[in-house]
Chain A
Amino acid sequence: MDALIIQKPENQLTLIAKVEAHMGERLLGREEKSHYHQFKVKGADAKDLMRFLRDDASLGFSYFIDATAVDYLRYPIAQPERYAVIYTLLSPALGVRAQVKAFVPEGAPRMPSMTDLFAGANWTEREVWDLYGIEFLGHPGLTRILMPDDYEGHPLRKDYPLKGRGERGNFPVYHATTQKPQGGA
Chain B
Amino acid sequence: MGVSGSTNDWATTTLNTAVNWARANSLWPMPFGTACCGIEMMAAFMAKYDTARFGSEVMKFSPRQSDLLIVSGRISLKMMPVLQRIWEQMPEPKWCISMGACASSGGVFDTYTLIQGVDQFIPVDAYMPGCPPRPEAFLDALMMVQEKAKKGQAKSQEYVTQDSGSDPAKSVAFRTPDAHYRHNVDQSTPAAEGKAG
Report which A residues bind B (CB closer than 8 A).
147-148, 152-153, 155, 160-180, 182-184
Docked complex Cα distance between A172 and B192 (Å)? 14
How far does the Cβ of A158 sit from chain B's closest Cβ, in whole Å? 13
- Residue from the list B88, B110, B172 in contact with A162, Cβ < 8 A: B110
B6 interface residue, CB < 8 Å from A? no
Task: State whether B181 touches A169 (Cβ < 8 A).
Answer: yes
Task: State whether B80 touches A173 (Cβ < 8 A).
Answer: yes
How far does the Cβ of B46 sit from chain A's closest Cβ, in whole Å? 32
Docked complex Cα distance between A170 and B193 (Å)? 11
B182 interface residue, CB < 8 Å from A? yes
Listed residue (B113, B172, B173, B195) with the most chain A CB atoms within 10 angstroms of its CB: B113
Q: A161-B189, A168-B184, A170-B194 are in contact. Are A147 and B174 (CB under 8 A)?
A: no
29 residue pairs from A and B, CB less than 8 Å apart? A147-B78, A147-B113, A155-B112, A155-B113, A160-B112, A161-B186, A164-B112, A164-B194, A165-B193, A165-B194, A166-B190, A167-B112, A167-B191, A168-B112, A168-B113, A168-B177, A168-B184, A168-B185, A169-B191, A171-B80, A174-B84, A175-B172, A179-B171, A179-B173, A180-B163, A180-B165, A182-B166, A183-B165, A183-B166
Docked complex Cα distance between A179 and B91 (Å)? 10
Given contacts A155-B113, A174-B174, A179-B172, 8 further A-B contacts (CB under 8 A): A163-B112, A166-B194, A169-B178, A170-B178, A171-B77, A171-B80, A174-B80, A179-B159
Docked complex Cα distance between A144 and B191 (Å)? 21
How far does the Cβ of B116 sit from chain A's closest Cβ, in whole Å? 7
- A interface, over-half SS: loop
Docked complex Cα distance between A147 and B121 (Å)? 20
Task: State whether A173 touches B113 (Cβ < 8 A).
Answer: no
Q: Number of B residues whose C-beta is below 8 Å from A?
A: 43
Task: State whether B186 touches A167 (Cβ < 8 A).
Answer: no
What are the residues of chain B within 8 A of A155 when measuring CB–CB?
A: 112-113
How far does the Cβ of A133 sit from chain B's closest Cβ, in whole Å? 11
How far does the Cβ of A134 sit from chain B's closest Cβ, in whole Å? 17
Q: A152-B196, A179-B171 are in contact. Are A163 and B84 (CB under 8 A)?
A: no
B130 interface residue, CB < 8 Å from A? no
Docked complex Cα distance between A172 and B80 (Å)? 9
What are the residues of chain B within 8 A of A166 when measuring CB–CB?
A: 185-186, 189-195
Docked complex Cα distance between A176 and B116 (Å)? 21
B48 interface residue, CB < 8 Å from A? no
Docked complex Cα distance between A170 and B173 (Å)? 18
Docked complex Cα distance between A109 and B189 (Å)? 24
Nearest A residue (CB) for B77 = A171
Please report which residues of chain B, range 151-185, place their CB below 8 angstroms from some CB of chain A when the two chains form the complex. Answer: 159-160, 163-166, 168, 171-174, 176-178, 181-182, 184-185
What are the residues of chain A within 8 A of B190 when measuring CB–CB?
A: 166
Q: A155-B112, A180-B165 are in contact. Are A174 and B88 (CB under 8 A)?
A: yes
What are the residues of chain A within 8 A of B78 when measuring CB–CB?
A: 147-148
How far does the Cβ of A135 sit from chain B's closest Cβ, in whole Å? 16
Q: A153-B197, A166-B185, A166-B193 are in contact. Are A176 and B172 (CB under 8 A)?
A: yes
Task: State whether A162 touches B77 (Cβ < 8 A).
Answer: no
What are the residues of chain A within 8 A of B88 when measuring CB–CB?
A: 174, 176, 178-179
Docked complex Cα distance between A171 and B75 (Å)? 13
Docked complex Cα distance between A172 and B190 (Å)? 17
